[in-house]
Amino acid sequence: MSALDLARWQFGITTVYHFLFVPLTIGLSFLVAGMQTAWVRTGNDKYRRMTKFWGKLFLINFAMGVATGIVQEFQFGMNWSDYSTFVGDIFGAPLAIEGLLAFFLESTFLGLWIFGWDKLPKKLHLATIWIAAIGTVLSAYFILAANSWMQHPVGSIVNPTTGRAELKDFGAVLTNSTAVGAFAHTITACFLTAGMFVVGISAWQLRRQRNADVFRPSMKLALVTVLIASLGVIVTGDLQARLMTEQQPMKMAAAEALYDTVAPASFSLFTIGSLDGSQEKFSIRVPGVLSFMATGTFDGRVEGINNLQAQEQQAYGPGEYRPDVPVTYWTFRLMIGFGFLCLLISLVGLWLFRRGRTPRARWFFPVATAGLALPFLANSVGWIFTEMGRQPWSVFGVLKTAGSVSPTVPASSVLTSLIVFTLLYGVLAVVDGVLMVRYAKAGPLPPEGPAAESDEPRPAAFAY
């Protein structure tokens, strides 16, 4: 493999790994804040136990997210120096604000929340977790604004003398329509992830009839969260599809493996054919749906890969402008499929738990527990689709990926760091998994009062 291929693999592996933690941190911070708000308003001890239990898992996840996120920024300098030189003027502002304001905000107030139990007044302590949660959202926005500039560069010009992009309108970068659309889609996905996380662990505990007073309300809160977030993901995903068609039509065509321009365009649920699109052996299609996703009308025209390839050659010169179509096609479908399965679990769960009932269908609990993995898979393949579908561009229409890699770093060095990071992240995955399982099995703290004085041994737990 070349240094470029290895650098792309390294960035993909480390970023997908890091992105396992980010959506859960953002969504779970708000769920924990909501649980604590319920405790402060009602004084009901079950909400305090819910807050403490889910708060422990939130903190483990937050710590892992921070540790793995640091590597991301180092990679720009290590393997992507030409890219860093080109985008430095643009990325500097949003990433600096993210680090100095948003991350500082969430870290500081999260620290106050951890050490403020029984020391700060209840309402002031509650405010710290809300401010930390708001900090996670702000942090996400500035990161997405930087990434969205790569998808749709606005508010800047390329200086032909220096060969660098120069910032002309920071407001345009922050209000980039791609950033606004990506933020709405990502945040709703964060709530979906956190909701399914709570659903999965609550189902595991309820199946064993443990602490139903804590996990039953946790399950109901999470199921409602997943239902609302799933609908939000669908709506924002639809808006993003139209933006994508307008700004990156090749990505939309590759997502459908649509080689020839058609109107109206059907949506392929499942297709088997040749990789170049010359033959379609089997396909299940829904008429007009792709036209609606791309244009908002059921008979809209959708450009095909062949036409777009010719147009981009005319605009940017000879070259290959088609992304990896099979990867783009399947990651797009897997992202949507995993998301709809989450919606289905939430609908079934809310039906089974209606009017205070306890589900008699024992099959639901293992299904709900297994469903915990669905949003993480959806987030990962969604990110792969977004980034792979943009190829061969690092910054769409301006800078190619092949021109972004560090020219003086040999493939052997990239391979070494790739192996080190992969092994290190493997160890971190084991540590994180062990901690999560241990504290999920340990369950919540005992109720306050006489029961708290029980001498019954409990699994180890950290205090905060």
Question: Could you read off the pLDDT of 284-306 as tens digits, one per residue?
Answer: 888 888 888 888 888 888 888 98
The pLDDT tens digits for 204-245 are 999 888 888 899 999 999 999 999 999 999 999 988 888 888
Give the end-to-end CA distance of the chain in Å, rounded to a whole number: 48
User: Cβ of 191: how many Cβ atoms within 10 Å?
Assistant: 24
Q: Are 176 and 154 in contact (CB under 8 A)?
A: yes
How far is CA 37 from its chain centroid?
26
Q: Which residues of the chain have pLDDT under 50?
A: 451-464
Residue carrying structure tokens 């910032």: 167
pLDDT, residue 425, reads: 86
The pLDDT tens digits for 417-447 are 889 888 988 888 888 889 889 998 888 888 8
Q: What is the pTM of this model?
A: 0.89
User: Cβ of 266: how many Cβ atoms within 10 Å?
Assistant: 18
Tokens of 279: 């033959």
Separation CA 36–CA 208 (nearest Å): 26
Tokens of 140: 């996400």
With b for 16 or more beta-carbon neighbours within 10 A and e for fewer, the 128-167 pattern comes to: bbbbbbbbbbbbbbbbbbbbbbbbbbbbbeeeeeeebbeb
pLDDT, residue 344, reads: 95
Q: Are 386 and 148 in contact (CB under 8 A)?
A: no
φ and ψ at residue 164, rounded to 5 degrees: -115, 155
How far is CA 260 from its chain centroid?
32
With b for 16 or more beta-carbon neighbours within 10 A and e for fewer, the 220-247 pattern comes to: bbbbebbbebbebbeebbeebbbbbbeb
Closest-CA residue to 332 (of 403, 441, 244, 247): 244
pLDDT, residue 451, reads: 47
Residue carrying structure tokens 């061969």: 392
Antiparallel, parallel or unpaired: β 267-273 and 399-400: unpaired
pLDDT, residue 125, reads: 93
Separation CA 418–CA 301 (nearest Å): 43
pLDDT, residue 453, reads: 43
Q: Are 170 and 93 in contact (CB under 8 A)?
A: yes
Q: Are 248 and 389 in contact (CB under 8 A)?
A: yes
Amino acid of residue 277: G
φ and ψ at residue 154, rounded to 5 degrees: -135, 165
Contact partners, residue 25, CB within 8 Å, separation at least 6? 58, 61, 62, 65, 136
pLDDT, residue 380, reads: 93
Separation CA 410–CA 422 (nearest Å): 19
Taken as a whole, the chain contains a residue count of 464
